[in-house]
Amino acid sequence: SKAVETCPMNQKQPCPKLLESVTCRKDANPQDKSCQYDNLCEAEGAGFGDDATCCRVNNLKRCPSRKRPVECRKDSEDQHKSCQYDNFCKARGAGYQKNECILVRKHGTMKEHECEEIPQFTQAACEGIEKTDLVCGPKKCEMDSVCTARNMKWNRKQCTQKDGCRLSRINHRCTGKDKTPVLCSESRCEYSNQCVASRGAGYKRTECVPKSE
């Protein structure tokens, strides 16, 4: 009978007691055996290096079980590496934002997906709509309005302004709230107050600071 393949252990380096679980494969093929480690340091010590695909594990307990597969990649990650999750919630639990992911049933896998030219009928359908230069998805496909992005099958939260700032939605719960402007993320994106930044654009309070006069 075929021997059961076991996962190698970290034999090479001391690592911090940090629980940021990752699963790793030697190849990108989802059919290959995956091994789970407490963090990337432990995985590297077990021999999963540059030639391996290591993906962070979802740490959110309350995610729907339905499968709407997404594939995600961060700017800081290798251009050939991407990670797949059952849905956006599980991807978020692994540290990805929606604009770092594509919905496989709409755009294919990361390997298949290419930014498409905007067809004339979409341009006509969005004529007269306010123009806003956007980039959508991990490959930063350029769009000229929210209307265009929607017609090209992008969810609003999968797009940002070109400077990386998230789009904010009108949220009536923020009416009459604190009028102190805030700056969020490393891009120092400005919003009229923390409520708009959090409820409208999805930033955590820890990602924002009050704008100094």
Rounded mean pLDDT for each run of 10 residues along the chain, 213 residues in total: 68 83 76 83 84 83 91 74 91 91 91 90 91 92 94 91 88 79 93 91 92 76
pLDDT on residue 184: 95
Helices (H), the chain: 40-45, 88-93, 104-107, 120-125, 146-151, 194-195
Q: How far is CA 7 from CA 23, 24, 37, 135, 182, in A?
A: 11, 10, 10, 40, 47
pLDDT at 2: 45
pLDDT of residue 12: 77
> What pLDDT does residue 28 have?
60
